[in-house]
Structures are given as structure tokens and as C-alpha cells.
A and B are shown apart, each in its own frame.
Chain A
Amino acid sequence: MRLYVALAIVLAMAAGIAYAASEEMVHSITLPAVHTELKTGPGKEKTETLCASCHSVDYITMQPNFSKAVWTAEVNKMIKVMGAPIQEVDAMTIIDYLAAEYGTGK
């Protein structure tokens, strides 16, 4: 819905159409596209697909290196608390990836 309103405004402007009176009551922003690349390693693609449906992967890259136990708890939290639709086998792959690429080695 929000998207459509923004789109309509954008189209109107692109076509050079001036706004109606309500224009000054509409306040809009456009978020920049920011790309964050995960480290290369087995499980990267799974992590990219399954961990980016609710938030950008910079949620992962901003974290310090954690132990495998902490990464396991984080992934479980995403599944059990936030309802991330991730199968157990995929969760294992992601945990291994995070522990290897963003881990403490413990």
C-alpha cells in the first residue's frame, strides 16, 4: 500500500505533474540501497537467502566474533522467537557457516 502511494507520487513527478493541494501534507523518503557482502564460505548462500527475509545481513556482519554456542542461540532465537521459516538441516548449515566465518573458533 505504502509502496503504491510512493510510486504514484514518483510517477506523477517523473511525468512533471504538479501536486494537488494535499502535496505539502505528504512527507516521503526513499531509503538508499545498501549492499553488504557476507564472507565467502560453505553455507553463505543459505545464510543470504534465509537470514535476509526480515532484516539485512549487516545484522550479522556488525556482530563481533562469537562462539558456536552463541551463534546457535542466535539462530534458534530467529526460528523460535521470530518465527524464521528455516528447516533444522538449513539451520545447522547456517550455524556452521557463522561459527566458521564470524566465530571465535570455540
Chain B
Amino acid sequence: MVYKRFTRRDFLKTAGAITAMAATGSFPTNIFADGKRLAKFPEKTDMILLTSRPPQLETPLHYFKEMITPNDAVFVRWHLANIPTSVNVAQWRLKVGGNTEKQVELSMDDLKKLEKVSHTAVIQCSGNSRSFFDPRVPGGQWGNGAMGNVTWAGARLRDVLAMAGVKAGSVDVAFNGLDGPPLPSVPDFEKSLHIDQAMDDDIIIAYEMNGTYLPMLNGFPARLVVPGWYATYWVKSLSDITVRDKPFDGFWMKSAYRIPDNPCGCIPPGSAQKTSIPINRMTTRSLIVDPSEGSSIAANKPVEITGIAFSGGYGIRDVLISADGGNSWKEARLGPDKGRYSWKQFFFSWRPAKPGKYTLMSRATDNIGESQPLDSLWNPAGFMRNKIEKVEVVVK
């Protein structure tokens, strides 16, 4: 594989941009009507800018009209400002050790010699849609664009662990990447999975996104892919895997990314979380992408309501659509099936007869009966939003 070279032209382009910015003190961004900024980062298209250091970039909603989210449009979310910006793949090694028979250092070639496995899977930030929480909570103020549907390919985590030989008595597997804390006091971003889960056939160390290498900002040269689970576990620019005979208690497992310890992962809005567990599998959700919020539609002409639906790894059974604010529901037609971790597109032909305001809603149910609540489920960190969303349109 040949990675896109950083050419002299790119350099001049970038250098030019930096100088221009330094001179004007402003960033050449388009401003959305609602005050959101668009920014262009390397290997990415124009994305909604949340933060610049470390970068947090959100996917504009119109990309979700497609089944697969292109690499340059997949959201970006780093925690620690010291992110990798240059990787020599010839020297990169994935170190696997801890409670194992031996410590191994795998090169990219070693990884590619293992059986190549591919899954189309939704990647979604735990805090996707946090900005819609009521009351609002601190954190990345994402709209609905901290997600995407990508075909990932790489080696099974299980096969990689087998090369080191997991010893009896192992309980957790911890994952660390090339990113690092800006100050030594900041906890390094390291995540863990229980050993039983780490052995799941479908977890891969992906070195390909949609048939090509990963953009740097999405975890080049390889990242963990835990299909069905929130992206906080999908450690980017993976460098170290440590098998542990004691539970992992790093900050980002023990204190952050926790949800209330009850079936809904929710508590009364505004209250404090007492007992908690690490966030894990995604809840079922769906989103109408077209028509978009505030669109105006011609009366007595058919319009197609389209969108996407996915769940925490069980595939989508059906999607119901309401065009009258939830009074009546009809089944939408589902698009092609790319496996249980992928999202499905839905299509519903609608012909509004009378002019006026209409509230469109979609409700998905997965193959084990998990669906979406009518009211939002609240938790203090702003995780797992999956309520039935409303899109208001005007028929003229």
C-alpha cells in the first residue's frame, strides 16, 4: 500500500494557509446560519468544527443520505492534544504483552499476514447528539453527526492475542494508542475490554477504511473496531495491547465514559448519578435525513422520506414512520442489508394533501426487539441519546 505522499505542493498549500491565518488572525471558515463553523483539516472534507486542539470534527448530516460514509467525511474525536501527525509505517509496531506467554511486536506486514476480516459497521461517539440534552451537559457539543457507516477491514483481535498467547487467569485487555497527554498530570487515553469480549470473533484491528488506509485523524495506521459498541472503545492509532490478570482501572474506564447502572442508562433529568458502569453496546436509533428540518414541501406531490437506522449489533427489523407527530405510524421500506453492524437505509413515500406544519418521526426496532423511546433518556454525561427524533417541515 502506498500512502498519499506529503508533497511539496501540499506543503506550500498548508504553509500558505497558515501564514494567511496568522496574518488575519482568523480561520477561513464558512459560518452556518446557526453559528457553526466549517473547517478543512488534512484528509478531511469541510467538517463542522467543534474543537481544533485536539481536533473534534462533526460530519454534516447530508452525508447520511449515503449507505457508506466516505473516509474524508467520517467524524473526528480525539481526547488528548498530543495526537500523532506523522507515522512511519515501516517502524510502527503493535506491542502485545502483559499476562501472555510472550511479548510480541507486530509490524504492519505481520498484521496483514493474518486472515483479513471485514465488517460494515456504524461508528458512533458515546456523546453523539449531546447538544440536544435537556438540561444541557458539559462535553463535546455534538449534533447528530458524530457517527458514520464504514466498511472496516483488518485482523481479528483474537488472532493477534493468540500470537502472544493469553495466559489463564486473564480478566481484561487494555488498549493504548499513539496519542498522549498534553501535560503529565492528564490521564493517558487507554481503554479496556473484558477478556471474554476481547475474544469475540468480530472485533478487529482495522488497517483499512472503505478499502483504503485510514486518514491520520481517524486513527492511522490501525485502530480497534468493536462493532456494535460505542466508539470510545475503538482506540485509534493503536500501539499497545496489554492483557491483564487484574481489572483495568484507568481514568477513561473508571471515572469517564460511565452510565447509570440500570437498564435504561438514565436518571431523572438534572439529578446526580449514584452507581455507574462503563458505557458499552449502542442503543437502537434512527434518523430522518431527507427532508431536512425546516424544509418546505409542495402539497399533493409525492416526497420520499429517507434516513438511516442501526442498533448495537443486532440489525434492524423495521422502521416506522409518522407524518402526524406520532399519532399514526406506517412501515418504511428498508434498503440493502450489509450485515448486523451496518446501518440500514429506509424509504417512505409521502404525499401530504393539505398545506401546514407537519412533524415527521421515525422509530426503528432491531432484531431482538430493542427500540427507541418517545422521550429522551437523560444522564449527566450526555451519552446514548436515541429518542425518536422529530423533523418539522412545512407543506405549501
Beta-carbon contact of B141 and A62 below 8 Å: yes
Given A27-B221, A32-B41, A33-B22, the answer on whether A66 and B182 have CB atoms closer than 8 Å is no
Query: Among residues 153 to 188 in chain B, which have CB atoms less than 8 Å away from a CB atom of chain A?
Result: 181-187
Give the contact stretch, choosing among B80-88, B287-295, B317-325, B388-396: B80-88
A55's contact among B5, B91, B182, by CB below 8 Å, is which?
B182
A26 to B84, CA, bound (A): 12
CB-CB < 8 A to B217: which residues of A? 29
For B, the interface residue count at a CB cutoff of 8 angstroms equals: 56
User: What's the least CB distance linking B280 to chain A, in Å?
Assistant: 23
Given A2-B85, A25-B3, the answer on whether A13 and B11 have CB atoms closer than 8 Å is yes
User: What's the least CB distance linking A13 to chain B, in Å?
Assistant: 5
Beta-carbon contact of B131 and A64 below 8 Å: yes
Q: Which 4 A-B pairs have the closest CB atoms?
A: A83-B185, A34-B52, A29-B42, A28-B86
A70's contact among B14, B40, B138, B185, by CB below 8 Å, is which?
B138
14 A–B contacts from the bound complex (CB under 8 Å): A5-B88, A6-B85, A26-B87, A27-B88, A29-B86, A30-B11, A30-B18, A32-B41, A32-B42, A33-B21, A34-B21, A35-B21, A81-B255, A83-B184
Beta-carbon contact of B3 and A24 below 8 Å: yes
Given A23-B5, A53-B182, the answer on whether A34 and B49 have CB atoms closer than 8 Å is yes
User: What's the least CB distance linking B90 to chain A, in Å?
Assistant: 4
Beta-carbon contact of A32 and B85 below 8 Å: no
User: What's the least CB distance linking A14 to chain B, in Å?
Assistant: 7
User: What's the least CB distance linking B39 to chain A, in Å?
Assistant: 6
Of the listed residues B42, B217, B255, the one surrounded by the most CB atoms of chain A closer than 10 A to its CB is B42
Cβ of A45 < 8 Å from any Cβ of B? no
CB-CB < 8 A to B8: which residues of A? 13-14, 16
CB-CB < 8 A to A90: which residues of B? none
- Describe B's contact surface by its main secondary structure: loop
Beta-carbon contact of A32 and B141 below 8 Å: no
CB-CB < 8 A to A58: which residues of B? 49-52
Cβ of A31 < 8 Å from any Cβ of B? yes
A22 to B185, CA, bound (A): 36
Beta-carbon contact of A34 and B39 below 8 Å: yes
B52's contact among A5, A22, A56, by CB below 8 Å, is which?
A56
B85's contact among A29, A36, A84, by CB below 8 Å, is which?
A29
Which chain A residue lies CB-closest to B13?
A: A30
Beta-carbon contact of A2 and B86 below 8 Å: yes
Given A23-B5, A25-B89, the answer on whether A66 and B136 have CB atoms closer than 8 Å is yes
Given A27-B87, A31-B85, the answer on whether A66 and B138 have CB atoms closer than 8 Å is yes
Cβ of A49 < 8 Å from any Cβ of B? no
Cβ of B2 < 8 Å from any Cβ of A? yes
Cβ of A89 < 8 Å from any Cβ of B? no
The contact string, 1 if C-beta is below 8 Å from chain A, for chain B 1-12, is 011111110010
Given A66-B136, A82-B186, the answer on whether A30 and B53 have CB atoms closer than 8 Å is no
CB-CB < 8 A to B17: which residues of A? 32
Beta-carbon contact of A27 and B138 below 8 Å: no
CB-CB < 8 A to A29: which residues of B? 6, 41-43, 85-86, 216-217
Beta-carbon contact of A59 and B51 below 8 Å: yes
Query: Among residues 131 to 145 in chain B, which have CB atoms less than 8 Å away from a CB atom of chain A?
Result: 131, 136, 138, 140-141
Which chain B residue lies CB-closest to A24?
A: B2
Given A10-B11, A13-B8, the answer on whether A26 and B26 have CB atoms closer than 8 Å is no
